[in-house]
Structure 1
Amino acid sequence: MTKCFFAVDLGATSGRTILGYFTPQGLVTEEINRFPNYLIETGGHYYWDIYELYRNIVEGLKIVGRKKDVEITSVGIDTWGVDFVCIGKDGGLLRQPYSYRDPHTTGAPEKYFQRISRNKVYKCTGIQVMNFNSLFQLDTLRRNNDSALEQADKILFMPDALSYMLTGEMITEYTIASTAQLVNAQTRRLEPLLLKSIGLSEKHFGRFVYPGEKIGTLTEELQHQTGLGAIPVIAVAGHDTASAVAAVPATNNNFAYLSSGTWSLMGIETQAPVITAETEALNFTNEGGVDGTIRLLKNICGMWLLERCRINWGETSYSTLIAEANASEPFRNLIYPDDDAFANPSNMEEAIKKYCTDHNQPAIETRGQLIRCIFESLALRYRQVLENLQRLSPYPIEVLHVIGGGSRNDLLNQWTANAIGMPVVAGPSEATAIGNIMVQAVAAGKATNIASMRQFLSRATHLKTFLPEHKDTWDVAYLQFKTITQ
């Protein structure tokens, strides 16, 4: 009987459940089921279908329940940040949760800062101001007299809501709560002043826990449905980026990481929050990490740019798209990936083309030119953010670890190394699920701490290193890039 950990990893476009167990040679993982995560657009709003996500998680548990040679040690769930579910006094979900892509928070930070200043909020939380942060979502719902919020007895962030559906226990996990801009970066607890400013208090949230704590066990209903026993559900690093960063296979602290997926998140690990006038001006964020760390990072628009373009391109493979990009003219077109024009346009391809012509660049004529524009612009944006990190870091940055799905993109990894002028180490691509499993393993006593598991991963995981090339060419391109971002 193989004892395994069951990881639920939910992203903004898809989700999956994964079994994992450790051997002396490394971590063995098996994907149990994969499923889309669709935005539902209705009534002028965007929602997530939490019941469909739950159904797919249960389906994964049922599949494992039919395996005669597997025993699940525990379950852990990680998701994207900021979004939440309102729970009524009877324990029922009051409505499908809004998506952070919903336009109802446009202009919300400015409205909120009329009551509490931007500077005061940042000094308290260390979280970058983004209009979809939970603080501004909740304030928007309050201003709109939202019926679900008015009736809410509890507010649960997405991984905590799904854990509640699995166990009946309500918790608020630290790393996911830190994305909300409601957690005091020094106390590492929900901040009463900010909660009061939106008509809430700590009683509106579940028991506050940190990665590695037990939430509860599968409900009797689920035990019956899945054929499994009273399996513990563990609060892992509920924010997917926190789970991914836990799995960085670093051998020392002198690294930066780039979690590359729908979003690109570039940062460093620190032992204490870095909250200064410079980090506020640069809009850097201090999110909670594992083992008491802080993730000082910057959100960058990532593969969202390409994913939205691919909607119009059918089933064309990534390898074909990358080959087309590589065959196109270098630095013909550049965009600023974090421009508001790319947040959620109805047609991403047209938005990029319009941006280029609006900035006096040649018209994009081929798909390869468009993809090359995306990749080169991302690589140069990574350099821009890394330069800021190097100034803020308490230690020298010697290598960039690229983790997540984007780590499989050799072309972008090489261009990133070229742009930043330092080695790029790519892998693991399944970092989020691996980090999820690592926290479960520590909770189960199968490992001593995250640091020792990172050392193990660095030895046991296939990693690929990219060394910088063509420095002068990329330096010139960077000067060109900076002209469109100033």
Structure 2
Amino acid sequence: MNNNGEYYFAVDLGATSGRTIIGRIADNKFELEEITRFPNNLIVQGGHYYWDIFALYFEIIKGLKEVARRGLKITSIGIDTWGVDFVFIGDDNAILRNPRAYRDPVTFEAMDDYLKNVFSKKDVYNVTGIQFMFFNSLFQLYAMRKEDNSAFNHAKKILFVPDALSWMLTGEEVCEYTIASTSQLLDPRTKQLDEQLLASLGLDRSKFGRMVMPGTQIGVLTKEVQELTGLGAVPVIAVAGHDTGSAVAAVPAKNEHFAYLSSGTWSLMGIETKDAIINDLSYERNFTNEGGVEGTTRFLKNICGMWLYERCRLEWPEEVRKLSHPELQGSAMQVEAFRSIINPDDQVFASPTSMIGAIQQYCRETNQPVPETPAEICRCIFDSLALRYRQVFGWLQEFLDKPSSGAERSSFNLDVLHVIGGGSLNKYLNQFTANATGATVLAGPQEGTAIGNIMLQAKAAGMVKDIWEMRRIIANSLDLVKYEPTDKAIWDEAYEKYLRITDNK
């Protein structure tokens, strides 16, 4: 990019790496450029897992310095991150401790303890509509209270990770809606943190910042940050602080008749609705209602995703790890289809010592051929993910066909599935997904989270009117790859096999 015009500065942080990116809108299209890329290292100390919040702040400052060095004019800054994790701020306005990471072992048993001794599972779901996962903020905070955690005991404010980083830049304490919605502390009907759930943790609403919606200006860079970076009083915007919220905002859909699959380490499949869907069926199937932009709800289900493949890849010999993804995945296409099938969301795959061992044991226990080679294991993962996607896609259609709980939405057929994120480049899995679901799959953008972040900044600046104008500009800027379903009878038969195996496990 040249230095003509104004740019938006996006900070996009994932659980393994982060990036700073600049973007702009010109001629009804957007442009992106990566400024910096850096690792997000998990710190293991004293039996706990932490994020290095100061290292992340340093990298944001580094990216802003580079922008200033190049003489680029920045209209605003927006930060998105993974969900659920948070930072404690003390009475002296200092961070009390690096934040715990969501995979910290202390939370493994906290969920069951809380649901047994504090509130019932059904009662918590009826308030929040959030999928039960052991690392949700509710259970992290409960575990910290029980262990008499000193940072918890002395916190003046609790800020979710993107809000904490925005506070480090501006000094302003906010609670952005989409990131708060991942906590299992928020009621999606009132769009506020629930007082009873907070009280069950010994907390009250004053411990959190003011609630803000995506597109709200949080503040401007402090004098300190201005001096550090060489920039002026640049506004910091609350984008959809949850990375999936920003990614879904970037789905280049033409109308509301679509489902999305945010495909990466996690796969998140869902629909965008006007209201939360909270009923007995959504509870039984463990669907979640997370905050979206412009007051929408992201009704979705977390699926284990490429975590399975990534963990296996780490275990394979060096000569296998040296293969490119297309090479390894191409070899998987040469082995027998549907030879071995797993449920990607079985608890045994959550955090096994050996992912290869877990997959092989699952197949032994279900009386299937045990995959041995990397190609066989890869094929098992891809076949199984596509079949799991079919199951969840069918459930989404059921929810649309049977409106309940007062939600205002019309029934329509889901015939398009937008795949966004890094997984949108996986041509084999995309085709399998089209075959399994029977839907047209449109793949792209890969950089959905950063695009959504930047587009929400543009909306805050008045450059775009609403989410549909955002999506029109995004669609106009991309060449989406289309996958049409084939081999229906073969995939129907495979799905019946998948149901027999997973129902009996």
Query: Which TM-score applies when normalising by structure 2?
Result: 0.94
Worse-superposed segment, 78-87 or 341-350: 341-350
Structure 2 contact 341–498 (Cα < 8 Å) conserved? yes
Aligned positions of 1:176-325 closer than 5 A = 176-313=179-316, 314-325=321-332
Structure 2 contact 159–174 (Cα < 8 Å) conserved? yes
Counterpart CA distance in 2 for 1:195 and 1:386 is 34
Are 2:394 and 1:387 equivalent residues in the alignment?
A: yes
Counterpart CA distance in 2 for 1:34 and 1:357 is 42
Provide the secondary structure at the position in 2 that maps to 1:132: coil
Are 2:492 and 1:485 equivalent residues in the alignment?
A: no
Are 2:337 and 1:337 equivalent residues in the alignment?
A: no
Structure 2 contact 28–473 (Cα < 8 Å) conserved? no
Provide the secondary structure at the position in 2 that maps to 1:311: helix
Q: What whole-Å deviation, never above 9, does each CA across 1:377-416 have from its counterpart, x for those lacking one? A: 1111000111110000243212100011100101100000
Are 2:364 and 1:347 equivalent residues in the alignment?
A: no
Q: Which amino acid aligns with 2:16?
A: T
Counterpart among 54, 57, 76 of residue 54 in structure 1: 57
Aligned positions of 1:352-371 closer than 5 A = 352-371=359-378
The aligned counterpart of 1:445 is 462
Counterpart among 37, 44, 64 of residue 41 in structure 1: 44
Counterpart among 448, 473, 486 of residue 490 in structure 2: 473
Counterpart CA distance in 1 for 2:425 and 2:450 is 16
Counterpart CA distance in 2 for 1:347 and 1:365 is 14
Unaligned runs of 5+ in 1: none
Q: What whole-Å deviation, never above 9, does each CA across 1:147-198 have from its counterpart, x for those lacking one? A: 1101111111010111111111111000000000111111101111111111
Counterpart CA distance in 1 for 2:32 and 2:482 is 23
Provide the secondary structure at the position in 1 that maps to 2:353: coil
Provide the secondary structure at the position in 2 that maps to 1:85: strand
Aligned positions of 1:130-141 closer than 5 A = 130-141=133-144
Structure 1 contact 76–233 (Cα < 8 Å) conserved? yes
Are 2:101 and 1:81 equivalent residues in the alignment?
A: no
Counterpart CA distance in 2 for 1:355 and 1:174 is 39
What is the CA-CA distance between 1:440 and the residue it aligns to? 0.3
Counterpart CA distance in 1 for 2:314 and 2:75 is 39
Q: Which amino acid aligns with 1:41?
A: V
Counterpart CA distance in 2 for 1:58 and 1:334 is 46
Counterpart CA distance in 1 for 2:341 and 2:56 is 37
Unaligned runs of 5+ in 2: 401-410
Counterpart CA distance in 1 for 2:412 and 2:194 is 30
What is the CA-CA distance between 1:369 and the residue it aligns to? 0.8
Counterpart CA distance in 2 for 1:423 and 1:142 is 48
What is the CA-CA distance between 1:226 and the residue it aligns to? 1.2
Provide the secondary structure at the position in 1 that maps to 2:300: strand
Worse-superposed segment, 72-81 or 391-400: 391-400
The aligned counterpart of 2:405 is none
Over the matched positions of the two proteins, sequence identity in percent amounts to 57
Provide the secondary structure at the position in 1 that maps to 2:398: helix
What is the CA-CA distance between 1:355 and the residue it aligns to? 2.1
The aligned counterpart of 1:120 is 123
What is the CA-CA distance between 1:352 and the residue it aligns to? 1.9
Are 2:438 and 1:421 equivalent residues in the alignment?
A: yes
The aligned counterpart of 1:102 is 104
Counterpart CA distance in 2 for 1:240 and 1:301 is 17
Counterpart CA distance in 1 for 2:82 and 2:429 is 23
| Matched length | 485
What is the CA-CA distance between 1:304 and the residue it aligns to? 1.2
What is the CA-CA distance between 1:111 and the residue it aligns to? 1.6
Structure 2 contact 275–297 (Cα < 8 Å) conserved? yes
The aligned counterpart of 2:67 is 64
Worse-superposed segment, 52-61 or 401-410: 52-61
The aligned counterpart of 2:403 is none
Q: Which amino acid aligns with 1:400?
A: L
The aligned counterpart of 2:407 is none
Provide the secondary structure at the position in 2 that maps to 1:266: strand
Counterpart CA distance in 1 for 2:311 and 2:92 is 39
Counterpart among 174, 178, 184 of residue 177 in structure 2: 174
Q: What whole-Å deviation, never above 9, does each CA across 1:118-173 have from its counterpart, x for those lacking one? A: 11111111111111110111011111111110111111101011111111111100
Counterpart among 2, 6, 18 of residue 5 in structure 2: 2
What is the CA-CA distance between 1:306 and the residue it aligns to? 1.5
Structure 1 contact 12–262 (Cα < 8 Å) conserved? no
Counterpart CA distance in 2 for 1:189 and 1:295 is 16
Q: Which amino acid aligns with 2:330?
A: A
Q: Which amino acid aligns with 1:288?
A: G
Worse-superposed segment, 443-452 or 114-123: 114-123
Q: Which amino acid aligns with 1:485?
A: T
What is the CA-CA distance between 1:36 and the residue it aligns to? 1.6
Counterpart CA distance in 1 for 2:182 and 2:300 is 12
Provide the secondary structure at the position in 2 that maps to 1:350: helix
The aligned counterpart of 1:90 is 92
Counterpart CA distance in 1 for 2:92 and 2:388 is 48
Counterpart CA distance in 2 for 1:52 and 1:481 is 44
Counterpart CA distance in 2 for 1:388 and 1:155 is 36
Q: What whole-Å deviation, never above 9, does each CA across 1:410-447 have from its counterpart, x for those lacking one? A: 11000000010111010011000000011100000111
Q: What whole-Å deviation, never above 9, does each CA across 1:57-81 have from its counterpart, x for those lacking one? A: 111111111112x211000000110
Provide the secondary structure at the position in 1 that maps to 2:434: helix
Counterpart CA distance in 1 for 2:99 and 2:368 is 41
Counterpart CA distance in 1 for 2:48 and 2:155 is 19
The aligned counterpart of 1:327 is 334
